[in-house]
Amino acid sequence: IRFKDSVGLQMIPCCTTKQIRIDCPRSAPKFALMLKILSMIYKMVQSNTYATKRDIYYSDTLLFGSQSVVDNIINDISCMLKIPRRSLHILSTTKGFVAGNLSYTEEDGTKVNCTCSATAVTVPSNVQGIKNLISHAKFMLIVEKDATFQRLLDDDFCNKLSPCIMITGRGVPDLNTRLLVRKLWDTFQIPIFTLMDADPHGVEIMCIYKYGSVSMSFEAHHLTVPSIKWLGLLPSDLERLNIRKDVLIPFTKQDQKKLASIQKRPYIACQPMWKKELEIMAASKLKAEIQVLTSLSSDYLSRVYLPNKLQFGGWL
């Protein structure tokens, strides 16, 4: 896998292959499971039916042993055949939400309007099939956590400042949420900002949206949006806003390890401003959730922080 600025992490064409042999005691069970899943895929393609990864696992839990075994084999098959998971008739379970100035038609003809501000719409399970996308949004905001997303919805953030689209993958984003972010960017070409916790985990999630993940690098062209900008919560914001030290959380050993590994990644080298922020985080050994802004005032995030950032270009 190599890093390419315009695409993110992508698989190189002449990559090394992984051998799974039927005559080797260690890889024979994996070979058998792979054939089993391939036969299930073949039947689904023939009958034009679909299943989720969970459906496949629950069709024979004793045989597969765990969900991760199924997930890894499906990734391998998708990578080997160089086709997206949906072409294998395997659906990803969706956990993401979308709200704001957006309407579209689903593959089966259902019209979806995300503009009703009180509730969010679940990200569609077939992103490739949606059409007639209409939006007057000026920007898109990716929110790391569900709680922050709901809070911004309650504060009517999508309409107050200027029309926008808000999306959350509720933590590490699933495939459909990433596909939707990419589809919206391809369709509307509007700026995309991320609102994450100021901790290594938040930075990691943001990197998945922007540069992709190693496990899905063979699908990078459909999934990554290299133009994504880091809006907040920046480690430098904590000092600038005089956030009290007692509301910040000390680093764990795991946080330190994750941050060190992110700092070594090839894409951080071409982001000097990000590099600086990660150095601030590493030096302070403190992390902050977006919720720390409530220590300033209960609606500080939607009333002061985000409007100021967006108006004065406070992103990286």
Q: What is the DSSP letter of 109?
A: S
Q: Which residues are catalytic?
A: 58
The DSSP line for 230-282 is EEE--HHHHHHTT--GGGSEEPPHHHHHHHHHHHTSHHHHT-HHHHHHHHHHH
As a whole number of angstroms, the distance between CA 57 and CA 205 comes to: 26
CA dihedral of residues 211, 71, 73, 261 (deg, nearest 10): 40
- Quick check: 210 and 224 in contact, CB under 8 A? yes
The one-letter amino acid code at 285 reads K
- Which residues have a Cβ under 8 Å from the Cβ of 49 and sit 6 or more positions away? 43, 89
Tokens of 304: 């002061």
